[in-house]
């Protein structure tokens, strides 16, 4: 094989960080390229991911001795590297404002660079006579490095020995060899697929074209992971998905050979993760435990709070791993299963994890993503069989750990294990679909069928199906709110029973895909029918009313949400009012609305407005507002706005009619007073927060409406008494009809003063 095959010329940026001789100021970037970032940006990167203060030079170096090497990242403005990037560097603006401070939310991450910083002592001393430590930094776009599957050692070799880098950074830059032969041997990665084109140095103003960059060497890494080293590295890789890791018990350092040795181990650990997760994995050959730093994997002397402690083997003592949290344990167990039980060579596991589909940048703190990428190696049958049952086995083991005589604890553990098992399984299924490995058309047909059969055999299969539909409806709703036509991965991917029989609106296509697939299983089809019918517009009012009264209220909410997204909720709207009206007194009203009550109120507020001239619209608006009041969130639209509309008289009459219906149903005595006062207080709270109508006649009519409610209830609720008393006592006095003022004077004297006297 040609030793340079697979090598790519990648455009790199660089910076030199330190102090001038005799300087009294702080460390800073002394010079830098104008590729990708401004000089100030390079300074921010090196400060943000600095490993701390090195110990003084000693005749017998310890484990913390320089030199050090730190691999880190920086978010990249998509325009950086072109003219805009260079301009930003010259002006100190541009890309400087694009830097952010964290890895962000779940899933893939935006474009960025991966860089390596090497630090060592210089021959300089500052104004206080202290030896100056210098740092040389080299970075390149992660996408370009991923095209070659470059490892940490590849970046290190480029910084240390590439003649183009040496010429750019200058003769005094630490860690850079200026006398090595320019014919550098490289070890290319065995890339089975054609490599994607990487950035070329000529494309990026101010960049250094790296000529010696090579990919990971699976054989070399496998040698490092021989014997017990595989389990140690696998445990560390798994822990990194959940928390920072401190590597303790390292041998003495103080040489570049030790840096290479430590980087080699860090590379081996990272090789047991999907390649793209390197994009946000910060690792270092040393980090000062007494310094606040953002390094996730580092050799150090003691763990900081929140870090997992891993110890290397020493004389008479084997290497040790801490207890692994559940997501990390799942990943570790799968790695060990592939290597030890299935007998897969380490080279095969590593080569799988750097396949092209796993190279796009992805956040490190995503154990589910890593688990599913690794689970692709044994094939679709593994996901449907082993992976979907691993969580259940784990939770069962936890249950067995409880004392046999402690029945109360066993019952609590059993319930918790069932909840966690369901949650874990749903997360796996949703992630598989998002990755295009489930419900992805003919290509995933075998896996679709196997997974559905596995779900059908589970006792909690129906609950799993309902939860998948609930979350899918939330996805569709968020997509609509965000202005997208449909949720990611939308569209029915199976045929048979369910939503695929109907014309599926784009806004519900993601949910319809789950329904079409799950509906093929007879055990699930019946309970899923209302959801599909809601999308199709074939769910009648009576059936929906029965759902509201007979099912967990969270799922009728999903039915209503799907109908609303499909534009077919209008016929179902009144059933929500009837349900709240009929069941409100059965449940004690909370002081603060629950999440479910807020979700219902949000759904009602999203119903499309109808023209007031349409038949029955004022009554519908009154029902919606009273629904919001009974849910504890207030009218869907402020009472002030309703009373200022063109059809306020019809609306006022509808509210009064609905209130009388409540009085007739529950009476105005002890049994009915709570719901009647809840309505009065809810309308009063709307006036308190949004104000009264500015028009005096509309304000008078609002008072008149509230007076009718108080007369029918034979009570003035506390909230209503407060807001009306304040309004009537305002200066200047409001202009009211004589009969309105007289009515309220009588009501307050009759129902408020006696209440105070009591």
CA distances, 323 to each of 195, 236, 313 (Å): 39, 11, 17
Mean pLDDT of 130-142: 97
Both structure tokens of 401: 């750990």
Q: Please calculate the CA angle 286-291-297 and round it to the nearest 5 degrees.
A: 40
How sure is the predictor about 100, in pLDDT bands with cuts at 50, 70 and 90? very low
pLDDT at 728: 92
How sure is the predictor about 213, in pLDDT bands with cuts at 50, 70 and 90? confident
Top-confidence residue, 96 or 288: 288
Residue positions counted in the chain? 758
Both structure tokens of 124: 């300089």
pLDDT at 211: 81
DSSP secondary structure code for residue 570 in this structure: G
pLDDT at residue 190 is higher than 70: no
CA distances, 153 to each of 70, 115, 343 (Å): 11, 12, 28
Burial category of 59 from C-beta neighbours within 10 Å (exposed 0-12, middle 13-18, buried 19 and up): exposed
CA distances, 234 to each of 225, 360, 463 (Å): 9, 22, 34
pLDDT at residue 366 is higher than 90: yes
* Cα–Cα distance, 229 to 222 (Å, whole number): 10
pLDDT at 179: 66
pLDDT at 415: 81
pLDDT at residue 490 is higher than 90: no
- Tens digits of residue pLDDT in 417-428: 888 889 989 999
pLDDT at residue 494 is higher than 80: no
Q: How many beta carbons lie within 10 A of that of residue 170, not counting itself? A: 14
Asked if residues 354 and 150 have their Cβ atoms less than 8 Å apart, the reply is no
Q: How many beta carbons lie within 10 A of that of residue 252, not counting itself? A: 12
Mean pLDDT of 659-671: 92
Mean pLDDT of 152-176: 95
**Minimum mean pLDDT among 42-46, 183-187, 275-279: which range?**
183-187
pLDDT at residue 182 is higher than 90: no
Residues forming a β-bridge with 323: none
pLDDT at 395: 53
pLDDT at residue 678 is higher than 60: yes
Both structure tokens of 37: 């970032």
Neighbour-count burial for 146-164, b at 16+ CB within 10 Å, e otherwise: bbbbbbbbbbbbbbbbbbb
* Cα–Cα distance, 408 to 682 (Å, whole number): 43
pLDDT at residue 82 is higher than 70: no
pLDDT at 150: 96
CA distances, 711 to each of 105, 668, 738 (Å): 55, 10, 17
pLDDT at 516: 95
* Cα–Cα distance, 479 to 490 (Å, whole number): 10
Mean pLDDT of 188-215: 61
How sure is the predictor about 668, in pLDDT bands with cuts at 50, 70 and 90? confident
pLDDT at residue 85 is higher than 70: no
pLDDT at 57: 86
* Cα–Cα distance, 214 to 4 (Å, whole number): 8
* Cα–Cα distance, 190 to 2 (Å, whole number): 12
Phi, psi angle pair for 447, to nearest 5°: -65, -40
SS3 helix, strand, coil % of the chain, rounded to 5?
A: 55, 10, 35
Most confident by average pLDDT, 111-115, 197-201, 387-391:
111-115
pLDDT at 392: 52
DSSP secondary structure code for residue 593 in this structure: -
* Cα–Cα distance, 261 to 246 (Å, whole number): 17
pLDDT at residue 97 is higher than 60: no
pLDDT at 486: 55
Report H helices in 584-717.
595-605, 617-630, 639-643, 648-666, 673-690, 696-713
Both structure tokens of 374: 């690794």
pLDDT at 412: 80
Query: Domain map of the chain by residue range?
Result: 8-311, 617-757
pLDDT at 399: 54
Task: Please report the DSSP string for 45-63 in residue order.
Answer: HHHHT---PPPPP-SS--T
pLDDT at residue 318 is higher than 60: yes
pLDDT at 723: 96
CA distances, 502 to each of 494, 520, 528, 558 (Å): 13, 15, 14, 18
The pTM score is 0.79
Phi, psi angle pair for 75, to nearest 5°: -60, 145
**Minimum mean pLDDT among 31-40, 80-89, 732-741: which range?**
80-89
Q: Please calculate the CA angle 595-599-603 and round it to the nearest 5 degrees.
A: 175
pLDDT at 584: 87
* Cα–Cα distance, 130 to 115 (Å, whole number): 28
pLDDT at residue 607 is higher than 80: yes
Query: Which of 331, 306, 354, 344 shows the shortest CA–CA distance to 237?
Result: 331
* Cα–Cα distance, 529 to 517 (Å, whole number): 12
**Minimum mean pLDDT among 117-126, 197-206, 262-271: which range?**
197-206
Top-confidence residue, 358 or 415: 358
pLDDT at residue 548 is higher than 60: yes
- Tens digits of residue pLDDT in 609-638: 877 677 779 999 999 999 999 999 999 999
Burial category of 294 from C-beta neighbours within 10 Å (exposed 0-12, middle 13-18, buried 19 and up): middle
pLDDT at residue 693 is higher than 90: yes
pLDDT at 404: 54
pLDDT at 402: 52
pLDDT at 185: 39
Phi, psi angle pair for 13, to nearest 5°: -100, 165
State how beta strands 245-248 and 297-299 pair.
parallel
State how beta strands 131-141 and 283-284 pair.
unpaired
How sure is the predictor about 194, in pLDDT bands with cuts at 50, 70 and 90? very low
- Tens digits of residue pLDDT in 646-659: 889 999 999 999 99
For a pLDDT cut of 70, what percent of the chain falls above it? 85
* Cα–Cα distance, 633 to 28 (Å, whole number): 55
pLDDT at 8: 57
How sure is the predictor about 497, in pLDDT bands with cuts at 50, 70 and 90? very low
Residues forming a β-bridge with 320: 311
For the chain, what is the mean pLDDT? Answer: 86
pLDDT at 610: 79
Asked if residues 298 and 284 have their Cβ atoms less than 8 Å apart, the reply is yes
**Minimum mean pLDDT among 91-95, 481-485, 672-676: which range?**
91-95
């Amino acid at each position: 094989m040609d030793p340079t095959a697979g090598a790519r010329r990648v455009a790199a940026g660089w910076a030199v960080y330190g102090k001038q001789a005799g300087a009294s100021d702080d460390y800073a970037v002394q010079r830098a390229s104008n590729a990708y970032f401004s000089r100030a940006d390079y300074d921010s990167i090196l400060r943000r991911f600095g490993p701390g203060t090195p110990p003084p030079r000693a005749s017998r170096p310890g484990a913390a001795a320089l030199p050090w090497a730190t691999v880190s990242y920086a978010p990249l403005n998509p325009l950086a590297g072109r003219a805009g990037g260079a301009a930003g560097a010259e002006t100190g603006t541009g890309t400087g404002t694009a830097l952010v401070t964290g890895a962000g939310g779940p899933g893939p991450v935006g474009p960025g660079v991966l860089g390596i910083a090497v630090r060592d002592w210089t021959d300089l001393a500052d104004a206080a006579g202290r030896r100056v430590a210098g740092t040389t930094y080299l970075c390149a776009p992660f996408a370009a490095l991923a095209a070659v599957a470059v490892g940490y050692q590849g970046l290190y070799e480029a910084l240390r020995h590439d003649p183009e880098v040496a010429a750019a950074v200058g003769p005094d830059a630490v860690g850079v060899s200026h006398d090595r032969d320019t014919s550098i041997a490289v070890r290319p990665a065995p890339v089975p697929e054609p490599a994607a084109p990487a950035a070329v140095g000529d494309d990026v103003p101010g960049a250094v074209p790296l000529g010696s960059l090579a990919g990971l060497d699976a054989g070399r890494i496998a040698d490092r992971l021989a014997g017990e080293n595989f389990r140690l590295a696998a445990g560390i890789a798994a822990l990194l998905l959940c928390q920072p890791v401190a590597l303790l018990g390292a041998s003495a350092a103080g040489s570049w050979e030790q840096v290479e040795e430590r980087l080699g181990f860090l590379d081996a650990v990272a090789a047991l993760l999907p390649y793209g997760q390197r994009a946000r994995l910060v690792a270092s050959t040393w980090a000062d435990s007494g310094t606040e730093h953002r390094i996730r994997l580092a050799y150090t002397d003691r763990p900081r709070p929140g870090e997992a402690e891993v110890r290397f083997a020493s004389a008479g003592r084997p290497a040790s791993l801490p207890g692994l949290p559940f997501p990390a344990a799942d990943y570790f167990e799968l790695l060990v299963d592939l290597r030890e039980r299935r007998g897969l060579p380490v080279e095969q596991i590593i080569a799988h994890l750097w396949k092209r589909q796993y190279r796009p940048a992805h956040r490190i703190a995503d154990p589910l993503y890593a688990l599913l990428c690794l689970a692709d190696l044994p094939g679709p049958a593994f996901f449907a069989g082993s992976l979907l049952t691993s969580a259940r086995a784990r939770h069962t083991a936890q249950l067995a750990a409880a004392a046999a005589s402690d029945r109360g604890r066993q019952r609590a553990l059993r319930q918790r294990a069932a909840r966690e098992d369901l949650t874990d399984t749903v997360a796996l299924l949703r992630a598989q679909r998002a990755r295009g490995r489930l419900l992805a058309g003919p290509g995933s047909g075998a896996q679709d069928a196997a997974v559905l059969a596995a779900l059908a055999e589970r006792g909690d299969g129906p609950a799993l199906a309902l939860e998948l539909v609930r979350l899918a409806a939330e996805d569709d709703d968020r997509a609509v709110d965000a202005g997208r036509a449909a949720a990611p991965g939308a569209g029915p991917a199976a045929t048979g029973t369910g939503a695929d029989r109907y014309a599926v609106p784009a806004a519900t296509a993601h949910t319809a895909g789950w329904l079409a697939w799950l509906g093929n299983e007879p055990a699930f089809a019946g309970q899923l029918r209302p959801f599909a019918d809601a999308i199709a517009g074939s769910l009648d009012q009576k059936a929906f009313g029965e759902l509201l009264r007979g099912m967990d209220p969270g799922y009728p909410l999903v039915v209503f949400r799907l109908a609303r997204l499909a534009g077919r909720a209008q016929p179902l709207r009144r059933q929500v009012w009837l349900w709240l009206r009929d069941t409100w007194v059965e449940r004690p009203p909370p002081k603060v609305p629950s999440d479910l009550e807020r979700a219902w109120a949000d759904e009602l507020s999203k119903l499309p407005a109808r023209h007031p001239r349409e038949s029955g619209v004022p009554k519908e608006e009154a029902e919606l507002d009273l629904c919001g009041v009974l849910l504890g969130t207030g009218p869907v639209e402020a009472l002030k706005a309703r009373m200022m509309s063109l059809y306020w008289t019809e609306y006022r009459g509808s509210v009064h009619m609905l209130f009388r219906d409540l009085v007739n149903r529950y009476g105005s005595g002890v049994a009915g007073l709570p719901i009647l006062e809840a309505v009065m207080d809810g309308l009063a709270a709307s006036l308190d927060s949004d104000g009264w109508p500015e028009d005096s006649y509309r304000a008078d009519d609002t008072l008149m409406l509230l007076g009718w409610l108080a007369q029918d209830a034979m009570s003035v609720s506390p909230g209503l008494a407060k807001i009306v008393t304040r309004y009537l006592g305002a200066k200047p006095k409001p202009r009211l009809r004589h009969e309105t003022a007289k009515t309220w004077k009588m009501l307050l004297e009759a129902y408020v003063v006696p209440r105070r006297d009591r």
